[in-house]
């Protein structure tokens, strides 16, 4: 009976993945477009992402962690000027155990957060801000109506999940969800950037016993996951960006959820058959059957590792794409800042009837009258001569050695 109950567990797991989603339902609204994040191991679209039509997009599926095997999406959408960004950060998982049969989890869950407690969502956002090196400005309360709607959907999913457990004679886990938002701030060159982080945390707790025979010491196992949506832009533009990006985000595809669940169910059934075969082998003391079982287990393990390797390659490719996107965004931001600086300095020169010239030998710049086309400076760097005659040369006519200056932009950059 215990083995039969195990078979039910994979069918319940994907419900957790659907608890934290964002994104527009239906066709993209005007000004938006649809992007797909594919699951290469199943060869189908796992998440559909709505982003502004003219924005740059990069996204991928990432393999699950040792705390939660469910794969998850990450993506980044960037405005054409590179200053406004919408991100779905990698999911964060953590687990711990309590009770006589509890075992430490930090030593084995190296790819999970080093937490062993429930963390209120606002406290979680403060920790994420510290991890990302940004200033936590303060909480941004989620409207009560939105929270009520989120909790209503969550409670419906929770009830459906519990019914499946009870139908198979099992005690459903305790489940909870929290949602919160917070403002953060950081600097990007001369820009003061502000961000809005929206987090959803899901935690479950279930009672278990250690082997042998599942009659060993009891313990309580806790599992938590958290997803973060992050919008950041120049401080004065954040409110408009948040409003414009309301319909943007990722939606989990039902067909992928069903296919993922079916594959996990199949893998679990294979494991159960191997366990049964191993038990029969032990009772019959048949070495041949044991070797066959081991071979089947190795094949199953190889299939699993191939799936993990594919996801890992996607993960590495995504990180590379994200880094290139970050470098490009920074370059575009620097170019935009430089262009604005150059334009402003030229306007100032024009208003003051002056121009900026640079000594080609020393690189020194000076502000001189714009009434003349040519400017010469002597070797002291303190005496100047201006003329509109391109053939005029003070060398040999006036004392000292003279160098013709180059006309540059008001901020000293070449024209």
Query: Average pLDDT of each block of 10 consecutive residues along the chain (415 residues)?
Result: 34 39 69 92 91 94 86 92 93 92 78 90 94 94 94 91 85 93 91 94 90 78 94 96 94 87 78 68 56 59 57 56 59 58 72 87 88 89 86 88 92 85
Residues 6+ apart with CB under 8 A from 274: 293, 296, 297, 300
Distances in Å between the alpha carbon of 208 and those of 4, 59, 94, 97, 124?
A: 16, 37, 18, 10, 27
Residue 31 has a pLDDT of 93
> Which tokens is 67 given?
């705390």
Which residues sit opposite 60 in a β-bridge?
A: 74
Contact 41, 311 (CB under 8 A): yes
370 with 266, same domain?
A: no
User: CA nearest 325: which of 49, 135, 55?
Assistant: 55
322 with 397, same domain?
A: no
User: pTM of the prediction?
Assistant: 0.63
226 with 96, same domain?
A: yes
DSSP assignment letter at 82: S
240 with 302, same domain?
A: yes
401 with 290, same domain?
A: no
- Would you tell me how many other CB atoms lie within 10 Å of the CB of residue 121? 20
- 243 domain-assigned: yes
- 111 domain-assigned: yes
Residue 16 has a pLDDT of 39
289 with 212, same domain?
A: yes
Residue 209 has a pLDDT of 85
Residue 176 has a pLDDT of 94
Residue 161 has a pLDDT of 85
143 with 290, same domain?
A: yes
- 64 domain-assigned: yes
Residue positions counted in the chain: 415
Give the end of a domain, one of 334, 360, 375: 334
Residue 312 has a pLDDT of 57
- 398 domain-assigned: yes
Q: In 3-state terms, what secondary structure has residue 283? A: helix
Which residues sit opposite 123 in a β-bridge?
A: none
- 279 domain-assigned: yes
> Which tokens is 298 given?
């190795």
Q: Say how far apart CA 303 and CA 309 lie, in whole Å.
A: 10
Give the end of a domain, one of 273, 299, 334: 334
- Residue 213 parent element (H or E): none
Contact 75, 250 (CB under 8 A): yes
276 with 369, same domain?
A: no
356 with 329, same domain?
A: no
- 97 domain-assigned: yes
Cis ω on the peptide bond leading into residue 279 (within 30° of 0)? no
Q: In 3-state terms, what secondary structure has residue 288? A: helix
291 with 386, same domain?
A: no
Q: Please tell me the total count of domains within the chain.
A: 2
Distances in Å between the alpha carbon of 154 and those of 159, 175, 199?
A: 9, 10, 15
DSSP assignment letter at 8: T
402 with 324, same domain?
A: no
Angle between helices 254-284 and 287-351 (to 10 degrees): 150
Domain housing 305? 2-334
Give the end of a domain, one of 306, 334, 362: 334
330 with 363, same domain?
A: no
- 387 domain-assigned: yes
Which residues sit opposite 51 in a β-bridge?
A: 33
Q: Say how far apart CA 288 and CA 294 lie, in whole Å.
A: 10
State the first-to-last Cα distance of the chain, in angstroms, to the nearest integer: 81
- 341 domain-assigned: no
Residue 10 has a pLDDT of 36
> At CA 41, angle to CA 37 and CA 47, rounded to 5?
20
């Amino acid at each position: 009976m215990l083995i039969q109950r195990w078979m039910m567990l994979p069918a319940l797991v994907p419900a957790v993945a659907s608890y934290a989603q964002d994104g527009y339902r239906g066709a993209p609204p005007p000004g938006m477009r649809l992007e797909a994040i594919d699951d290469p191991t199943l060869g189908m679209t796992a998440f559909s992402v709505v982003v502004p039509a003219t924005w740059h997009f990069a996204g991928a599926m990432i393999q699950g962690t040792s705390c939660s095997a469910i794969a998850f999406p990450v993506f980044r959408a960037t405005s054409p000027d590179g200053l406004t960004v919408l991100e779905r950060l990698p999911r964060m998982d953590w687990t711990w155990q309590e009770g006589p049969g509890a075992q430490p989890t930090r030593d084995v869950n190296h790819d999970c957060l080093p937490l062993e407690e429930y963390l209120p969502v606002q406290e979680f956002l403060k920790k994420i801000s510290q991890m990302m090196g940004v200033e936590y400005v303060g909480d941004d309360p989620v409207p009560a109506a939105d929270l009520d709607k989120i909790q209503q959907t969550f409670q419906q999913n929770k009830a459906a999940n519990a019914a499946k457990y009870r139908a198979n004679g099992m005690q459903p886990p305790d489940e909870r969800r929290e949602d919160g938002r917070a403002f953060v701030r950081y600097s990007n060159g001369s820009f003061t950037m502000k961000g809005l982080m929206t987090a959803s945390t899901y935690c479950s707790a279930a009672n278990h016993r250690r082997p042998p025979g599942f009659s060993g010491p009891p313990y309580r196992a806790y599992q938590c996951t958290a997803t973060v949506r992050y919008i950041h832009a120049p401080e004065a533009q954040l409110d408009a960006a948040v409003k414009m990006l309301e319909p943007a985000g990722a939606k989990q595809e039902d067909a992928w959820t069903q296919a993922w669940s079916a594959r996990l169910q199949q893998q679990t059934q294979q494991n159960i058959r191997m366990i049964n075969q191993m038990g029969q082998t032990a009772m019959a003391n048949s070495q041949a059957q044991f070797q066959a079982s081991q071979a089947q287990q190795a094949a199953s393990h190889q299939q699993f590792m191939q799936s993990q390797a594919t996801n890992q390659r996607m993960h590495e490719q995504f990180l590379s794409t994200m880094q290139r996107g970050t470098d490009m965004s920074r370059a575009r931001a620097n170019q935009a800042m430089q262009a604005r600086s150059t334009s402003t300095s030229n306007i100032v020169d024009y208003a003051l009837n002056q121009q900026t010239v640079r000594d080609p030998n020393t690189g020194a710049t000076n502000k001189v009258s714009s009434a003349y086309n040519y400017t010469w400076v002597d070797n002291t760097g303190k005496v100047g001569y201006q003329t509109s005659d391109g053939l005029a040369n003070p060398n040999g006519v006036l004392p000292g050695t003279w160098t013709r200056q180059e006309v540059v932009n008001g901020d000293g950059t070449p024209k």
